[in-house]
């Protein structure tokens, strides 16, 4: 499959995912779930399934897992900003609902191995997120590696299930960069970045004693933002170096394309 065919397949699957996640009651109270188009493209590039129905169902179900995990991230944001019990409860419900859909859909096509691998991935992501939140004395390098693993975990479990091999490290690195860029964009638009508040706790003197998540003082928050800026530049350079040696033409083309878009739209590269 060439790149054009891959983009067409991903676009068709995105429409199917939109239909699968549509829930009129939930969407009255929570933001519509976001579909990560790059992760969808990577899943399409990984799958070597010849049966079109099975291929689409396995990719769609894996995206439902990713969407469910992303939605659950919003629970802490609600706790720290709006403290709305109804919004919190419905956000938890939405994440659980979308997570249950993956199991149901994969059971119908008897994909027991993928069910098991995705369940392991959900467990690993939740453990990593807990470590990111509450791990003691973690520095920038350690926090970034945790996020690096989180960003690629579900993709890696899918690859292990359907191809019996791990994803290329460039995929983890790319999605780590995408996460950093997302937080940078929030800041540039004058919006709130919970992730930067969490990441920046390493710069406080009493992080190791904190089990309650609190927002950073403005001075430390600014320091964390500046650190993220420098990490974005370093990550871009690292990916560009990795691209020279990456053997997967499809993955390389996806990463190159998106990296160019990132750089063109970000003030750090002007």
Higher-confidence position of 79 and 149:
149
pLDDT tens digits for range 68-78: 999 999 898 88
Mean pLDDT on 161-173: 95
Q: Of 91, 115, 109, 101, nearest to 33 (Cα)? A: 91
102-to-98, 196, 212, 218, 236 alpha-carbon distances in Å: 7, 30, 32, 41, 33
What are φ and ψ of residue 248, in 5° steps? -90, 105
For residue 251, what pLDDT band results from cuts at 50, 70 and 90?
A: confident
What are φ and ψ of residue 64, in 5° steps? -65, -40
pLDDT tens digits for range 188-236: 999 989 999 999 988 886 554 456 777 889 999 999 999 999 999 999 9
Gap between the Cα atoms of 5 and 98, Å rounded: 28
Percentage with pLDDT > 70 across the chain: 95
By CB atoms closer than 10 A (0-12, 13-18, 19+), residue 186 is middle
Angle at 71 between CA 107 and CA 151, to 5 degrees: 85
Q: Which pTM does this prediction carry?
A: 0.93
- 19: Cβ contacts below 8 Å, ≥ 6 apart: none
pLDDT at 123 over 90: yes
- 190: Cβ contacts below 8 Å, ≥ 6 apart: none
DSSP state of 165: S
| Residue 239 structure tokens | 């990916």
Higher-confidence position of 15 and 32:
15
Gap between the Cα atoms of 3 and 106, Å rounded: 27
Q: Of 60, 78, 53, 66, nearest to 16 (Cα)? A: 60
- Predicted pLDDT at 207: 54
Cβ–Cβ < 8 Å for 67, 35: yes
Cβ–Cβ < 8 Å for 255, 235: no
Mean pLDDT on 156-167: 97
Cβ–Cβ < 8 Å for 121, 150: no
- 22: Cβ contacts below 8 Å, ≥ 6 apart: none
pLDDT at 119 over 90: yes
Domains with residue ranges and CATH for the chain = 3-269 (1.10.600.10)
104-to-98, 161, 257 alpha-carbon distances in Å: 10, 17, 35
Mean pLDDT on 149-159: 98
Percentage with pLDDT > 90 across the chain: 70
Mean pLDDT on 82-90: 86
Please tell me the total number of residues recorded for the chain in this structure: 270
For residue 27, what pLDDT band results from cuts at 50, 70 and 90?
A: confident
Query: How many of the other CB atoms lie within 10 Å of CB of 88?
Result: 18
Cβ–Cβ < 8 Å for 59, 47: yes
């Amino acid at each position: 499959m060439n790149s054009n065919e891959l983009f067409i397949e991903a676009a068709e699957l995105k429409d199917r995912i939109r239909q699968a996640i549509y829930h009129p009651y939930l969407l009255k109270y929570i933001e519509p779930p976001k579909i990560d188009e790059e992760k969808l493209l990577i899943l399409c590039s990984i799958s070597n399934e010849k049966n079109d129905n099975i291929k689409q169902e396995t990719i769609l179900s894996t995206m439902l897992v990713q969407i469910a995990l992303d939605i659950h991230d919003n629970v802490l944001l609600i706790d720290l900003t709006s403290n709305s019990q109804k919004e919190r409860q419905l956000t938890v419900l939405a994440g659980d609902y979308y997570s249950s859909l993956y199991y149901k859909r994969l059971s119908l096509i008897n994909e027991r191995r993928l069910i098991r691998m995705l369940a392991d991935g959900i467990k690993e992501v939740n453990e990593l997120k807990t470590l990111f939140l509450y791990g003691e004395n973690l520095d920038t390098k350690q926090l970034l590696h945790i996020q690096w693993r989180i960003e690629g975990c579900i993709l890696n479990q899918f690859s292990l299930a359907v191809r019996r091999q791990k994803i290329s490290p460039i995929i983890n690195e790319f999605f780590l960069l995408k996460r950093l860029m997302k937080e940078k964009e929030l800041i540039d638009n004058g919006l709130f970045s919970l992730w930067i508040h969490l990441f920046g706790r390493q710069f406080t003197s009493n992080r190791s004693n904190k089990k309650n998540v609190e927002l950073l003082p403005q001075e430390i928050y600014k320091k964390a933002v500046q650190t993220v800026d420098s990490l974005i530049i370093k990550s871009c350079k690292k990916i560009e170096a990795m691209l020279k040696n990456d053997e997967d033409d499809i993955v390389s083309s996806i990463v190159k394309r998106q990296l160019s878009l990132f750089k063109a739209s970000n003030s750090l590269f002007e």
